[in-house]
């Protein structure tokens, strides 16, 4: 059976402006690219920090199939129970088992099963368990359960992201990097057939400093004094990648960057 599919992966949604940017563009993108699956990183959607059940529900209602998270997962206490209850929202699989939530899920459309895995880097990040071993464990758990697998690699260090890309090449459909909020220019299909990009970027205000009002970020950096950050509302863009999953399971045909200003 033909297992090809079009997957849109959306980089970290920052604040209400990022949410409106995505939900405003999604109907057009769905039609234009005949999207089968939409996966979005939502770790910054609640005013830059974390996510609430209400915001997650809005993303699901707007057409997002799976929400991935990262180091900001637990900023909003009200999400804890939701993370245990709702299958399609993921925190990194290599967090401690005692922490709320789970790290992978499977969604289906048109006879194609897409597994999604959330992972956190260990370098300069606070994930409680080792990245590479837990990536293996997640793939083992998904064996036979999914036709395609997309991994959200949420990490600070580009070296660690490139490393996991090579480690998983030929074993998953796509490895897409998140967290640094700045898109990288290295999207490609690796020799083993895995679509890869070091960072997808963010969906939010390009006129700030990775989502924060630029005057506040600059003040904090220049004075070395604590500043209460607010999200910027200047120049919202969608940063995403479009992946064409191959007819053959666990392989990709193409990966293409989508960097688009918000619909006006």
Point out which residues bind Fe ion (CB under 5 A). Answer: 12, 43-44, 70-71, 179
Nearest CA among 137, 103, 142, 106 for reference residue 120: 103
Closer to Fe ion by Cβ: residue 31 or 126: 126
- Within 8 A by CB and 6+ apart from 110, the residues are 5, 36
Active-site residue set: 72
- Packed helices 131-142 and 158-168: angle between N→C axes, nearest 10 degrees: 30
CB of 69 to Fe ion, least distance (A): 8
Q: Distance (Å, rounded) from C-alpha 74 to C-alpha 52? A: 10
In 3-state terms, the chain is what percent helix, strand and coil (to 5)? 25, 30, 45
CB of 150 to Fe ion, least distance (A): 17
Closer to Fe ion by Cβ: residue 12 or 65: 12
CB atoms within 10 A of CB 112: 20
Closer to Fe ion by Cβ: residue 68 or 71: 71
CB of 47 to Fe ion, least distance (A): 13
């Amino acid at each position: 059976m033909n297992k090809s599919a079009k997957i849109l992966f959306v980089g970290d949604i920052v604040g209400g402006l990022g949410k409106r940017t995505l939900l405003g563009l999604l109907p057009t993108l769905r039609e234009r690219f005949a999207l089968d699956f939409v996966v979005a990183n939502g770790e910054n959607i609640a005013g830059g920090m974390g996510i609430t059940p209400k915001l997650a529900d809005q993303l699901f209602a707007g057409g997002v199939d799976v929400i991935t998270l990262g180091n900001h997962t637990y900023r909003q206490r009200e999400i804890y129970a939701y993370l245990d209850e709702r299958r399609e929202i993921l925190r990194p699989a290599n967090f401690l088992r005692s922490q709320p939530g789970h790290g992978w899920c499977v969604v289906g459309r048109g006879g194609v099963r897409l597994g999604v895995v959330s992972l956190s880097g260990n370098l300069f990040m606070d994930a409680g368990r080792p990245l590479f071993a837990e990536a293996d464990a997640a793939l083992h758990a998904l064996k036979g359960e999914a036709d395609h697998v997309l991994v959200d690699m949420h990490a600070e260090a580009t070296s660690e992201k490139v490393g996991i890309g090579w480690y998983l090449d030929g074993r998953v459909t796509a490895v897409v990097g998140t967290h640094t909020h700045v898109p990288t220019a290295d999207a490609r299909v690796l020799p083993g057939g895995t679509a890869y990009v070091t960072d997808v970027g963010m969906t939010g205000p390009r006129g700030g400093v990775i989502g924060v009002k630029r005057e506040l970020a600059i003040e904090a950096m220049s004075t070395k004094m604590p500043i209460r950050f607010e999200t910027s509302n200047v120049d919202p863009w969608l940063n995403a990648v479009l992946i064409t999953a191959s007819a053959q399971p666990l392989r990709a045909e193409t990966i293409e960057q989508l960097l688009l200003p918000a619909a006006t």
